[in-house]
Amino acid sequence: MPRSSTRLTFAVLATGAAVFSMLQSLIAPALPTVQQELHASQSTATWVMTAYLLSASVFTPILGRVGDLIGKKRTLVAVLFVVALGCLLAALAPSIGVLIAARVVQGVGGALFPLSFGIIRDEFAPGAVARSISNLSAVIAAGGGVGMVAAGPVITALDYRWLFWIPVGVVAVTTLIALRYVPESVTRARGSVNWTGAVLLSAWLVALLLPISQASVWGWTSARTLGLFAAALALFALWLYSEARSRTPLIDQKVMRLPAVWTTNTAALLFGSGMYAIWSFLPGFVQTPASAGYGFGASVTESGLLMLPMLVAMFLSGVLGGRLQPVVGAKALLTAGAALGALACGFLALWHDERWQVGFVAGVFGLGIGLAFASMANLIVGSVPPEQTGAATGMNANIRTIGGSIGAAVTSVLVTSSLQPSGLPYASGYTHGFTLLAVLCLAAALAALLVPATRAPRPSTPVRGRGRTPEQTGASTRIR
């Protein structure tokens, strides 16, 4: 097969991104099993999720920028290799501490998203860029759903360690194919990595996300939580100052202030709040024993099957979004996706007495996820210079993750604020939580309406190494 095959390139990118998305979600249903087999406390076991979140948040924008500078294919292969090592370490982990360290290593894979989008923009024909990004976004979204659906059967049939053994083989083969067949993009940013900015970015992200993820254990008003929030604010201000003074900023603030970029990022923050909270709490809701007055006492496998309509819907709508974008525009798709999320959460707050109701609502939410994921990526890619693609899309993914952490944390407060004598939440806690998520998704739809329908063309400056204008590299001059 020729080295320039875009189909093979897309297959490699899609496989890597799908595995990373699966690693995000498939461990959540396995946490009780991991806790028991590795003799860990519940608070320690939660670090299996927290470590992955923090690592991905740090490495996604930084390695996206590194790819812009030294080559996206080179960085992609290195990231895939590291993810394979992380999965191998997790599969062999003899203790919870080693497993947490392995999850930190796996978090490096967050850079697969911006690197993949950048490679598509650089190497695919201009007319195929938007559709390919939509298809890849559909795979990314569906990967998270596959993780939730597949975790139960894998644990039941094999062992939780196979949640990592299987990705080891898949990622190892993907790495070899990428090394041989994915072309190296010659579109490069000038300059070097602003390591001061990278350290400050890492510091404020950790200081922000750590207390959000651990506040239920530490307490929202504890000195540790409040101190880290204050530190995050101070470090964020220092990071902005450092980036503004740097000749080669890690994240170009001028790009972040582009109307199409900041409005899309705002929508990503709000929609991410709803999406990740649904992924976190809907399985727990259906697994709650019916004796609590709600829930179905579903097993891990059964709860995964109830999420199957979401998985199918998000993939189909993501692929369909790529076909619809030339007709209706990415802005309309993002608005529609967020609105569908709001509709689904609103229905869920009122309509959750039967399994089919939950499955139907999950499918509606999946339609929204597929449309929103595809359109957000295309809006960012179509709005920034080619040499900023990795950093900008990495930051968009990060902002979505930050929103997800905030949404999950606030929903957790609402769900667990009042407990029954059995220790289970009251139904009203979930109702309030789902209502909040509906409001957040509605706010995301309103933010999407602020995305400008058009923007002025950028100057047709030749791109270093290939002599192509931004239009020739797949960047459109209109954001519809």
Q: What sign results for the dihedral spanned by CA atoms 267, 269, 271, 272?
A: positive
- Weakest-pLDDT range from 6-20, 134-148, 156-170, 304-318: 134-148
Per the CB < 8 A criterion, the answer to whether 152 and 27 are in contact is: no
Interval 8-30: pLDDT, tens: 888 888 888 888 888 877 777 77
Q: What is the mean pLDDT of the chain?
A: 81
- Weakest-pLDDT range from 271-275, 298-302, 476-480: 476-480
Task: Say how far residue 108 (Cα) sits from the centre of its chain.
Answer: 13
123 confidence band (pLDDT: 50, 70, 90): confident
Q: What DSSP letter does each residue of 66-102 carry, written as one string? A: HHHHH-HHHHHHHHHHHHHHHHHHHHH--SHHHHHHH
CA separation for the pair 369, 311 (Å, rounded):
10
CA separation for the pair 198, 239 (Å, rounded):
9
466 confidence band (pLDDT: 50, 70, 90): very low
Considering only CA atoms, which of 389, 396, 477 is closest in space to residue 188?
389
Considering only CA atoms, which of 283, 288, 36 is closest in space to residue 149?
283
Mean pLDDT, residues 289-300? 83
* Residue 188 predicted with pLDDT over 80: no
More confident residue, 145 or 310: 310
Instruction: Tell me the HSE value of 355 on the side-chain side, using a 13 A CA sphere.
Output: 14
Task: Say how far residue 419 (Cα) sits from the centre of its chain.
Answer: 31
More confident residue, 473 or 153: 153
Interval 320-329: pLDDT, tens: 877 888 888 8
Q: What is the pLDDT of residue 240?
A: 87
* Residue 478 predicted with pLDDT over 60: no
Report helix, strand or coil for 184. Answer: coil
Interval 409-447: pLDDT, tens: 788 778 777 778 877 888 888 888 889 999 999 999 999
Q: What is the pLDDT of residue 42?
A: 64
CA separation for the pair 147, 405 (Å, rounded):
18
Domain layout of the chain by residue ranges: 6-193+248-449, 194-247
Q: What DSSP letter does each residue of 336-398 carry, written as one string? A: HHHHHHHHHHHHHHH--SSHHHHHHHHHHHHHHHHHHHHHHHHHHHTTS-GGGHHHHHHHHHH
462 confidence band (pLDDT: 50, 70, 90): very low
Q: Tokens for 430?
A: 């979930």
Q: What is the pLDDT of residue 341?
A: 92
* Residue 82 predicted with pLDDT over 90: yes
Q: Tokens for 106?
A: 């796996």
Q: What is the pLDDT of residue 7?
A: 82
Mean pLDDT, residues 175-193? 77
Mean pLDDT, residues 116-126? 83
Residue 29: count of CB within 10 angstroms of its CB: 26
Considering only CA atoms, which of 293, 301, 411, 313 is closest in space to residue 362?
313
* Residue 448 predicted with pLDDT over 60: yes
Per the CB < 8 A criterion, the answer to whether 170 and 410 are in contact is: no
Q: What percent of the chain has pLDDT over 70?
A: 91
Q: Tokens for 359?
A: 């499955």
* Residue 43 predicted with pLDDT over 70: no
4 confidence band (pLDDT: 50, 70, 90): low
Per the CB < 8 A criterion, the answer to whether 85 and 105 are in contact is: yes
* Residue 461 predicted with pLDDT over 80: no
This prediction's pTM: 0.74
* Residue 102 predicted with pLDDT over 90: yes
Q: Which helix (H) or strand (E) covers residue 427, if one does? A: helix 427-449
Interval 352-399: pLDDT, tens: 888 888 889 989 998 998 888 878 878 888 787 776 777 777 778 778
Q: Which CATH architecture has domain 6-193+248-449?
A: Up-down Bundle (1.20)
